[in-house]
Structure formats: C-alpha cells, structure tokens
C-alpha cells in the first residue's frame, strides 16, 4: 500500500468521529430550533397570553442570533472551535434547565429569558461548528459533509414537534381555552400550573443530554 493510500485511510478514520459528533450537534440545532413553533400555542394557553404576546417566543429566541453575531466570533477566536462547541452546548443546556423554575412559577418572562439563553448557545455553537465542518477533512469533500449535516438538521425538524407533542401537548385537549374559561379562579390557576409543569421533565432531560455531549 502506498504512502498516499495510507494517508487517505488515516484521514478518513480521523474524520469519522468528528463527523458523528457534528451530526449530533446539527440534530440538536434543528431539534431546539423547531421546538419553538409548537411552544407558541402552549404558552398562549398556559401563561394566558394574547396572540401577539405569544409570538415573543420566536422573537426572544432569534434575537439572540442578532445580538450574538459578532460576540460569537470573538469567543471562538479566544477559545477555538472545539471549546466553542462545548461552550455553546453548555449554554443551551443552561437555557433548558431554566425551563424548570420558569414552569414552576409559570412566568412568561422567565421562559423568554430561557429561550434567549438557548438562542445564545445556538449562535455560539453554529459559529464554531460551521467552519469546523470544513477543517476536519479534505476541502473537496466539504460539500458532502455539509449535506449530511443538513439532513440531520432537517430530520430533527421533523422529529422535534412529534416528541414535544407526545410528551407535553398530547393531553392539551384537557386544557382547552373553553374548558379553562368556565373554571373558578382557584381551579383555573391549578389547571394552568399543572399544564406549565409538563415542560419541566422534557427540558430537564434535554439539558442533561446536551451537558453530557458537551463534556
């Protein structure tokens, strides 16, 4: 076997593990991002919001990309790609953990802060992972690697609403606006608190998984 063939085989092996990690990362990127849509009607009911107020869910998440656009590049210059990826994941996990006290208090502002924190982590993660896709292997195959990661991102977009529906939204028919409207104030508060608490376990698990991946 020639030296060139050996080098190619070594290069392919050295690319496999980073690609597996990046595929998981892009799945997380899509998963976290596509959860926002189903959360809008959930928050509208649980936090007693108007339609316009409920759309602050997406605003709080995506404004983080605007705010962190330049700072993210500074962070990656300081800590590097790998540490930047881990830092981004840890910040996303922090935002996910913040859903626990936010659901406990059923405070919409707290939820928005948690979403902003998650968006901040995603901004850093994307800033680090996108160029990392190019540098982990031959430049001529970079387009193929990007395509694979794009597929992982889109699959997450399909899976995320299904999982959220199964874990959180499946029994929302028991908490419709019409049913809640006829309850007395105490029963209404208890019902809405119970609805909000359904977000605790899924986001706690998400935060734990992302923390493990970061480490």
pLDDT reported for residue 179: 64
Instruction: Name the domain count of the chain.
Output: 1
pLDDT reported for residue 81: 81
Q: Where are the alpha helices (DSSP H) in the chain?
A: 3-34, 36-46, 51-54, 56-67, 69-79, 81-105, 108-135, 142-164, 177-181, 185-197, 200-214
Q: Please check whether residue 112 lies inside any domain of the structure.
A: yes
Q: Please check whether residue 108 lies inside any domain of the structure.
A: yes
Q: Which two tokens stand for residue 45?
A: 């009911």
pLDDT reported for residue 34: 81
What does the pLDDT look like over 51-65, one tens digit per residue?
Answer: 888 888 889 988 998
Q: Calculate helix-pair angle for 108-135, 81-105, nearest 10 degrees.
A: 160
Task: Indicate which CATH number applies to the domain containing 153.
Answer: 1.20.1250.20
Q: Taking CA 91 as the corner, what is the angle to CA 95 and CA 209, rounded to the nearest 5 degrees?
A: 80
pLDDT reported for residue 208: 93
Mean pLDDT of the chain: 80
**Rounded-to-10 torsion of CA 203, 147, 86, 82:** 180
- For 133, the domain range is 16-214
pLDDT reported for residue 214: 87
pLDDT reported for residue 88: 92
Q: Please check whether residue 162 lies inside any domain of the structure.
A: yes
Regions of the chain where pLDDT drops below 70: 1-14, 167-184
Q: Please check whether residue 9 lies inside any domain of the structure.
A: no
């Amino acid at each position: 076997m020639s030296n060139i063939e050996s080098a190619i085989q070594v290069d392919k092996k050295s690319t496999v593990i980073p690609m597996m990690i990046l595929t998981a990362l892009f799945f997380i990127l899509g998963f976290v991002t596509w959860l926002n849509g189903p959360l809008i009607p959930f928050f509208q009911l649980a936090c007693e919001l108007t339609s316009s107020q409920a759309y602050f869910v997406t605003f709080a998440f995506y404004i983080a990309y605007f705010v962190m656009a330049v700072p993210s590049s500074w962070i990656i210059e300081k800590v590097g790609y790998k540490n930047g990826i881990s830092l981004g994941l840890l910040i996303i996990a922090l935002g996910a953990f913040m859903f626990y006290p936010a659901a406990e208090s059923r405070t919409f502002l707290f939820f928005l802060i948690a979403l902003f924190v998650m968006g901040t982590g995603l901004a850093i993660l994307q800033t680090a992972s996108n160029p990392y896709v190019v540098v982990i292997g031959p430049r001529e195959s970079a387009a193929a690697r990007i395509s694979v990661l794009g597929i992982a991102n889109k699959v997450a977009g399909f899976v995320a609403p299904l999982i959220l529906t199964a874990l959180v939204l499946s029994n929302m028919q028991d908490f419709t606006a019409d049913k809640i409207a006829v309850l007395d104030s105490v029963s209404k508060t208890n019902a809405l608190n119970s609805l909000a608490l359904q977000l605790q376990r899924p986001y706690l698990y998400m935060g734990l998984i992302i923390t493990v991946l970061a480490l």
